[in-house]
Structure 1
Amino acid sequence: MSSFTTVDLTLLDPPDIVEALDYEVIFERKLATLVELDPEFNALVESDPAYKILQLSAYDEMMLRQRINESCRALMLAYAQDADLDQIAANFGVQRLVAASGDPSAIPPVPETYESNEDLRRRVQLSFEGFTTAGSQGSYVFAALNASGMVRDANADSLVPGEVLVYVLSREGNGTASEQLIEAVRAAVNAEKVRPMTDKVTVLSAAVNEYEIEAVITTYPGPDSEVVRAAAQAAAQDYVDAMHRMAYDVTLSGLYAALHQAGVQRVDLIQPAATIVNGEGQASYCTSIAVTVAENYDV
């Protein structure tokens, strides 16, 4: 995996300002307050109109406090989504990129596809790297990611002082960057405010290592084996999608963890036979996933 990383926002503790809500706690507090104000209400039953009013009041308060929680999350980079995240990104001079152009003349019209929230969130985190003109690894990665919405990932390395290699992983196909995309990144990383005068920057496509996944799972008796198989295959797809990044290794342990879903007793991984290790200029791409179900073993 690349030596350049940002803070993993998913590992941060939940913010204290977002409170845990419990309807029963809110209701009991309101009921206790009512009894304190008027002791005659000390024998309320659920059919009593006052009881119903308290239930409605407690529910309304919980919904209001939940809305406050959501408003707080919308102001945090780790939790903001969609338009809320766009607003935060704008504060850092970052704008959501178009990942795939649409076709308004098609029937029905095809809208533009924009980069995901996670990709935008990552660029916002990297935006501070864009402030430096010292040619740091992060500054080149940030410039490359900003060059085009077709850039899925980028990495920078320097094997010789003064010479920088920038690797580009495309969103198209297996990730091999087209010459057009390489040229767009080349222009971005060689901009006057990005590249120091002493650096020679070369932009290359990532070297993509293609692989296949073939696995046989054994399920416990009881659950529908096809449902279990589909869950295992979907989890494997999520894993390989997450690992389709520059210098990310595809590990056997990660594949076993993904395939071992609820209802799976055993996983026999046939391909790949070993962990796929990727260097700074490399990435992996899974061409196919085949998960089949074996006969149950005695349990």
Structure 2
Amino acid sequence: MQLLDLLAPTVLEVFDYETIKARKLALVVELMKAKGIEYIPSESDDLMTMIEADAYEEMLLRTRINNAVKAQLLAFSKGSDLDHIGTTRYGILRLEGSKPYALFTFSLSSSLAYNVTLPKGLQLGDVNAKVALLFEDITITAGNLSAVGTVELQEYIESSELKTEIILTPLPYVASAIQNENFHDGANSEDDERYRERIWLSREHKSTAGSIATYIYYAKTADARIKDVQIIDDTLGVVKVYLLSDSGEADQVMIERVTDALSKESVRPLTDFVLVSSATIVDITVTADIVLYDLTYEAGVRELIINEFNANTMIFNKSLSMAKLYGLLESEQVKDVSITAPSASVNIAANEVIRVALTLNFTGAA
């Protein structure tokens, strides 16, 4: 059972303004008749204005009640209401985001006859006390003056132009740290839908049986940039974890974050060997000639097609048949479609996703 499979609960009322107004009007007519007064409703009289105002107030109140109920339900809750459900009922906090990173070159003042290892967690900063940490150990080998390593800015943000080249950790052999690029590939706070999914998956996260949901939960918790996770356990004792990022391929930082998270004894059964890697992206170009009944609808049809492809691609193990491609290109405004590429259905493996580039040529019906 998935959250999306749940029907709206009956406690959520379905109503509309006109129905409420008609009920109130009928009640007023009945009450007036009981007093011997024949009331003939008119849109211009003062009593009708009061009935309409009362109907509108009732609609607002019932909408507020519906929203209050939704705020208590995981499937419908949003924003701070969802934060309260996740935290108080499940013990799951919304991810603050992911920290951006950049490549740095670390240099010695002079070459040495032995290797020098710069430890993971080495601190760097700037004049405004912003801090960044070396993401993993790097080694400047004997006889060499420098090595390149990844440094992670300690802020949850998509990117930053900060320069954190001041070495704060005492290292007598390192003369300098030079930042080679801006910090990139971070992420802002987790959105509601992703947070909701992790809350739902968290029902499994205390399991020591190594369930698929457990691995997905911990993988998505390790990096807020992860869009989807595919678990394949077709080999005894080996669990293959494939990561799909918002932009497509998983970078090495994402892979290492997830590997660290899934390697903890509290997460991984002792009998499982976990291999983490990026999803394989299968790039295709869909070229189509589309005949519209009215060419003035081109912009709207183009947007509709783009949205349809966005919803049906970049999904693990989802192939695209020619029939499906035609279906994604057709709509009420489309008279005819001719696909020139691809020439056959595109079938993919479980660890693959399809990424589509669209070339759409529109003409009007003769």
Confirm or deny a common fold (TM above 0.5).
Answer: yes
How many Å separate the matches in 1 of 2:343 and 2:76? 38
1:21 equivalent in structure 2 = 15
* Partner AA of 1:226 in structure 2: E
How many Å separate the matches in 2 of 1:295 and 1:129? 54
2:79 equivalent in structure 1 = 82
What's the offset of the Cα at 1:112?
A: 5.7
Q: How does 1:178-217 map onto structure 2 within 5 Å? A: 178-217=251-290
What's the offset of the Cα at 1:157?
A: 1.4
Q: How does 1:88-127 map onto structure 2 within 5 Å? A: 88-90=85-87, 91-97=89-95, 98=97, 101-103=157-159, 113-127=188-202
1:284 equivalent in structure 2 = 354
1:158 equivalent in structure 2 = 233
Q: 1:36 aligns with which of 30, 42, 65?
A: 30
How many Å separate the matches in 2 of 1:217 and 1:278? 26
Instruction: Work out whether 1:294 is the aligned partner of 2:363.
Output: yes
Asked if 2 retains the 8 angstrom alpha-carbon contact of 1:233 and 1:290, the reply is: no
Q: 1:258 aligns with which of 325, 328, 333?
A: 328
Bigger mean CA offset, 207-216 vs 72-81? 72-81
* Partner AA of 1:245 in structure 2: I
How many Å separate the matches in 1 of 2:189 and 2:342? 32
What's the offset of the Cα at 1:50?
A: 1.4
Asked if 2 retains the 8 angstrom alpha-carbon contact of 1:169 and 1:205, the reply is: yes
* Partner AA of 2:223 in structure 1: S
Taking structure 1 as reference, are residues 226 and 79 closer, same or farther at Cα in structure 2, changes over 3 Å only?
same
Instruction: Work out whether 1:62 is the aligned partner of 2:56.
Output: no
Bigger mean CA offset, 222-231 vs 142-151? 222-231
How many Å separate the matches in 1 of 2:344 and 2:85? 42
What's the offset of the Cα at 1:79?
A: 2.3
Deviations 1:13-38 (A, max 9, x none): 33211111122222222223223333
* Partner AA of 1:55 in structure 2: E
Determine helix, strand or coil for the equivalent of 1:277.
Answer: coil
What's the offset of the Cα at 1:264?
A: 0.6
What's the offset of the Cα at 1:218?
A: 0.7
* Partner AA of 1:33 in structure 2: L
* Partner AA of 2:272 in structure 1: D
Determine helix, strand or coil for the equivalent of 2:205.
Answer: helix
How many Å separate the matches in 2 of 1:245 and 1:200? 25
Q: How does 1:109-148 map onto structure 2 within 5 Å? A: 113-148=188-223
With the length of structure 1 as denominator, give the TM-score of the two structures.
Answer: 0.83
* Partner AA of 2:335 in structure 1: Q
Bigger mean CA offset, 22-31 vs 259-268? 22-31
Which protein has the bigger helix share? 1
What's the offset of the Cα at 1:49?
A: 1.2
Which protein has the bigger strand share? 2
Q: 2:337 aligns with which of 248, 255, 267?
A: 267
1:3 equivalent in structure 2 = none
Determine helix, strand or coil for the equivalent of 2:287.
Answer: strand
Deviations 1:128-181 (A, max 9, x none): 121211112221122111110121211111222112111112223xx2222211
How many Å separate the matches in 1 of 2:79 and 2:339? 38
How many Å separate the matches in 2 of 1:158 and 1:170? 21
Taking structure 1 as reference, are residues 83 and 269 closer, same or farther at Cα in structure 2, changes over 3 Å only?
farther
With the length of structure 2 as denominator, give the TM-score of the two structures.
Answer: 0.69
* Partner AA of 1:42 in structure 2: Y
* Partner AA of 1:125 in structure 2: W
1:176 equivalent in structure 2 = 249
How many Å separate the matches in 2 of 1:231 and 1:292? 13
Taking structure 1 as reference, are residues 51 and 295 closer, same or farther at Cα in structure 2, changes over 3 Å only?
closer
Taking structure 1 as reference, are residues 267 and 73 closer, same or farther at Cα in structure 2, changes over 3 Å only?
farther
Q: Which has the larger radius of gyration?
A: 2
Bigger mean CA offset, 116-125 vs 226-235? 226-235
For the aligned residue pairs, the C-alpha RMSD in angstroms reads: 2.6
How many Å separate the matches in 2 of 1:113 and 1:121? 16
How many Å separate the matches in 2 of 1:208 and 1:112? 21
* Partner AA of 1:181 in structure 2: M
Taking structure 1 as reference, are residues 254 and 162 closer, same or farther at Cα in structure 2, changes over 3 Å only?
same
- Structure 1 vs Structure 2: percent identity of aligned residues? 30
Determine helix, strand or coil for the equivalent of 2:271.
Answer: coil
Where does the alignment leave 5 or more consecutive residues of structure 1 unmatched? 1-5
Instruction: Work out whether 1:245 is the aligned partner of 2:315.
Output: yes
2:296 equivalent in structure 1 = 224
How many Å separate the matches in 2 of 1:291 and 1:159? 40
Taking structure 1 as reference, are residues 15 and 145 closer, same or farther at Cα in structure 2, changes over 3 Å only?
same
Aligned residues between the structures = 282
How many Å separate the matches in 1 of 2:329 and 2:305? 7
